[in-house]
Amino acid sequence: MKNILYLIVVFVVSLSCKAQNNVSKVVETNTSNPKLVVGIVVDQMRYDYLTRFYNKYGEGGFKRIINEGFNCKNNHFNYVPTKTGPGHASVFTGTTPKYHGIIGNDWYDKKLKQKVYCVEDDSVTSVGSNDAEGKVSPHRLLTTTFADENRLFTQMRGKTIGIALKDRGSVLPAGHTANAAYWFNYENDGNGNWISSSFYMNEMPKWVKDFNDSNITESYFKEWNTLYDINTYTESGSDLNTFEGGFKGKETATFPYDLAGLKDDNGGFNIIAESPYGNSLTSDFAIAAINGEELGADDITDVLTVSYSSTDKVGHNFGPDSKEIEDTYLRLDKDLERLLNALDNKVGKGNYTLFVTADHAAPNAINYMKSVKVPSGFFNESVMQKELNAFLNGKYGLSNVILSRINNQLFLDYQQLEEHKLDLQTIKKEIALKLLSYELIDKVYVTSAINHFENTSGDIELLLSNGHNQKRSGDILYVFDPFVLNSASWNKTGTDHGTGLNYDTHVPLLFFGKGIKHGETLQKTEITDIAPTMSALLGISFPNASIGKPLEFVLE
């Protein structure tokens, strides 16, 4: 009997030790996750900015990420339109506008019968300003981000903080459950503070107040000259040319720029956002957030999303071949190095994981392409809309039946068609045929056709299908010839974006840090692969509508 009792005791003790070992293994497994994930989006960054300026980059920014991390060289967007709102949403949700619903920066809301902005929300109030610039939230985003899934997985103990000059660049990546999203109040004569929304908080944290009360932002009202001797900027065109926009109050778009002297004519704090100093300010604030929120301070994974918006603004103004864009990226390289050093010091080398990508790319300036004899042009969509409405009025007596034209889509007045007892599909097809008669329009599709494009591959039809949300998108979509921009909304200098062509879809994708292999691939990857890859790294659920695949060759 004593022997039996002894065996039972030994067995129980053995089970207890085994259970403790298993618990220990679980703890070890959990703590093997990075303490912090940093998702970086560089607004309007073409892939070739990595290679064109590589020899001028320092050792601690882009080069460090490439040389120690993994470089996906053939990374593309898999939908249109390639715009900022959809881009940020797709990077972090792992899906496309078809599912996440952010079909543009703006679109025509069929129920409200008016144009809406992707993150505007009249149900919330500004925090940090007295204007309406904080009346935003992610309420139009229909799906979760990987940051949301991390919050759910950690029972809301893992923090999420979103940062960008642009509100949509902060709000959409951070998702629905974020602790906070912050953006720079620079538009419409903003107060130059980092602000937020009552969706996240009722009062700013002390560290944000301290940052806003400091002189950091105002210190960037200074001269913008080239970081290095302008004569060494051989990767860009001449400084003086007719392809660039420039700033009000300065006759030529040439270095140097006196931002303090130009600010009153260029929207005050807006001119900081329009210069590379906007990226420097973003890094300043991101570093303040790491310290102020104690991100990565424990073993529960936090997420920080950072979008560098000024690259987009400089690109729009000056174009991809400008001295200004080259200088902007050389300075961004320094700002990335500062951020990496701060992460090393605060979170620790090997304790964080980071990725760098873009929300879209951009074509060369159209007038520059004209000058080198590449087929290109401008198309006036406003004139087109007027002509189509006039045609439909003359034939059917319809009055402005095309209610809106946005993102290469037309929205029709269903009520008016019903009143005139006209068949919707017949009118759509008639408009499509009329559109095809215009020079510089390559293809036209009606929505009934787009809904059947899911099984196509490798063509514009698949990109259109992935970007088409049945409830929110327009009735007719049209595709321009290559290197064609809408002149109704563009001043014919600098550049714009939005197509499914390589110059808009090909963007960097770099992974770096804990759990990431060193290497590179020319295998095609897609923007929707990022979120599931991060989810796989963390061992959490994929975002709820993710269509991407985890990139196994990136992960250790």
Residue given tokens 């919707």 in the structure block: 424
Neighbour count for residue 206 (Cβ, 10 Å): 9
DSSP assignment, residue 218? G
Q: Is 157 left (phi over 0), alpha (psi -120 to 50) or beta?
A: alpha
Separation of alpha carbons 255 and 274, rounded Å: 14
Tell me, rounded to whole angstroms, the distance of Cα 192 from its chain centroid: 22
Neighbouring CB atoms inside 10 A of 415's CB total: 11
Q: Is 202 helix (H, G, I), strand (E, B) or coil?
A: coil
Is 514 marked as binding a ligand?
Answer: no
**Residue 168 to residue 100: CA distance in whole angstroms:** 14
**Contacting residues for 344 by C-beta, under 8 A, at least 6 apart:** none
**In 223-282, beta strands by DSSP E:** 223-224, 257-258
Residues paired with 41 in a beta bridge: 307, 357
Known binding residue 166? Answer is yes
Residue in 304, 239, 324, 253 with CA at minimum distance from that of residue 49: 324
Q: Is 305 a catalytic residue?
A: no
Distance CA 166, CA 185 (A): 9
| Catalytic-labelled residue, pool 31, 82, 84, 154 | 84
Helices (H), 69-127: 84-93, 97-100
Query: Would the annotation count 167 as a binding residue?
Result: yes
What's the CA gap between 156 and 178, in Å, rounded?
Answer: 9
Q: Which two tokens stand for residue 103?
A: 């079909």
Q: Is 140 annotated as a binding residue?
A: no
Residues annotated as part of the active site: 84
Annotated binding site: 105, 166-168
Annotated binding site for substrate: 105, 166-168
